[in-house]
Chains A and B, each alone.
Chain A
Amino acid sequence: MSRSFDQLDAKRGGIFAAVENWITGLGAVAIDAVVGIGDIGLFAFRTFAWLFTRLPSRETIIPNFYQIGVMSLPVVALTGMFIGMVLAVQSFAQFKQLHFETRLGGVINMSLVRELGPVLAATMLAGRVGSAMAAELGTMRVTEQIDALAAMGANPIHYLVVPRFLGCLVLIPTLTIMADFMGVVGGAFYSIVLLGIDEYHYWENSANFVKSFDLFSGVFKSIFFGAAIALLSCHRGFHCSPGAEGVGRAATSAFVVSFVSILGLDLMLGIILNQVYAFLYPEGMQFL
């Protein structure tokens, strides 16, 4: 029953019925949240268990890897390049006022490899692949194809989720590196060619400022983003409500939940990795 009809019913029963209805609704939301978290935990556990017991066949892995990795490459490269150029555009005016134009490379490249590259690659993956996975698995659920898999003695998580999970886990680092690379190229092109910043000092400052740990931290974070995208999107698809509306909702919520998780994980991992950075490089960042 739709929310508006619920409210109509509540009005019919008076203020007490409305309050009762509200408390019942609140309780249902709380229970759903706890059940949902537990369910995702079990889903993740089952997926991980298959990784250590039996890997999927090549026939299921290769098409998924192609969809996740190869087909995402152009869009990730393109957005990476644009974000590099946008960073140059937005930072140049401020840096020029301070006469620090040549330091632009350090800031652009640091922002890219530490934050924007991994987050952008993950966001593109969540939008392009996560929603598609949720919609595809949701349609399979609605049309009983997942039941058919189970009825034929195949494990749906092993057959459908594990190849997608592996694809996201293994290929997101390469997509991140591609986003980083194209961002660096885009930023350098705009700064050196269009803004006329000295090429030597641009790269010199970049090399001094950006450490290999920065590149590593971005790629390291991306692995967690990939795992979250695959698990959450597949979970949404597997637990899709019946009908076209259910499939649409699964696809949308897969992206929203994945995106929020990416940002949440980014914050948590950023704090942890900063501690590691401080331990490895006690002298801190030497920008000036």
Chain B
Amino acid sequence: MQFGSQVVLRDITLSIPRGQTVCIIGESGCGKTVLLKTLIGLIEATQGQALFDGRALTRLSERELALQRTRFGFVFQQAALFDSMSVADNIAFPLRQHTTKTSREMYDLVLQLLTDVGLPESAARKKPAELSGGMRKRVGLARALALSPEVVLYDEPTTGLDPIMSDVINELIIRTRQLYPVTSIVVTHDMHTTRKVPDRVIMLYPVMRLKQGERQVLFDGPPSELDACRDARVTQFVRGEAGERLMEMAEKRSTLASQS
């Protein structure tokens, strides 16, 4: 996957079984969100393909692709709620698009979903601008669950939230898996989420920092094995250590100083 001359993802081959909860971790700019968006065809891969139930999204017609996407729920980083609509209308949006439910049925389902994500019924009439960051993310999750998807994709669900609200979101992801038989793919760099939520962790590394022939996936295994990983780049990320980055920055500074 590349944008112009910049390669973001290289030789990624992953298989995720049904019902599994996977965390994709890695430093900013390593291509986690791009990978997530490629999975439902929001970004078209320059090479390779994403298969769901053995079918490549890129080979589907526009109508088939729309139907296929209803089997996914996507929780966006900033929730991506429609500003012009109320919370209830936001959650009911996919229902209006793809079901023949009556307004009453839709409203009942909206209230049920709000309860599932721990929001009061009074939130239904509010506009997204009136909600806090954590509430917006929960509305985003409720909207993603409206069509009872088979796969839920979370793009940095805890970014920008306080530790308590982050844990609430983590618990919601776990509870969603218990309530609905979903496969969850969570993109995050929150190590608390990484240790608590998934069955499996995949760590990506920025392509520009890789040596020739090195794989971009540095780690693929259960979260319990993260600390025992022999790759120093994985343990550095897990512990949140800058490592050789500080040395690199100092070298760049001295190179620039000598040039000028």
Contacts and interface: CB of A to CB of B under 8 A. Distances in A.
Interface of A: 139, 143-145, 147-148, 150-155
B187 to A, nearest CB: 13
B37 A147 contact: yes
B74 A151 contact: yes
Given A151-B40, A152-B69, A155-B66, A145 B80 contact: yes
A153 B94 contact: yes
Nearest to A154: B97
B66 A151 contact: no
A145 B93 CA distance: 12
B148 interface: no
B70 A152 contact: yes
Contacts of B147: 152
Contacts of B68: 153
Contacts of A155: 62, 66
B94 A144 contact: no
Given A148-B82, A152-B70, A155-B66, 17 more contacts: A145-B81, A147-B42, A147-B76, A147-B80, A148-B76, A148-B80, A148-B81, A151-B40, A151-B42, A151-B72, A152-B69, A152-B74, A152-B97, A152-B147, A153-B67, A153-B69, A155-B62
B223 to A, nearest CB: 27
Contacts of A154: 66, 93-94, 97
B71 to A, nearest CB: 9
26 contacts: A143-B78, A143-B80, A144-B78, A144-B80, A145-B80, A145-B81, A145-B82, A145-B83, A147-B74, A147-B80, A150-B42, A150-B69, A151-B40, A151-B69, A151-B72, A152-B69, A152-B93, A152-B97, A152-B143, A153-B68, A153-B70, A153-B94, A153-B98, A154-B66, A154-B93, A155-B62
B77 interface: yes
Instruction: State the main secondary structure of chain B at its contact with A.
Output: mixed
A151 B68 CA distance: 10
A151 B62 CA distance: 13
Contacts of B42: 147, 150-151
Contacts of A143: 78, 80
B106 to A, nearest CB: 13
Contacts of A144: 76-78, 80
A153 B76 contact: no
B186 to A, nearest CB: 16
A53 B235 CA distance: 54
Nearest to A142: B78
Nearest to B76: A144
B83 to A, nearest CB: 8
A147 to B, nearest CB: 5
A61 to B, nearest CB: 14
A144 B74 CA distance: 11
A145 B77 CA distance: 11
Contacts of A153: 66-70, 94, 97-98
Contacts of A151: 40, 42, 69, 72, 74, 76
Contacts of A150: 42, 69
Interface string B63-106: 00011111010101110111100000000011001100000000
B74 A148 contact: yes
Interface string B8-30: 00000000000000000000000
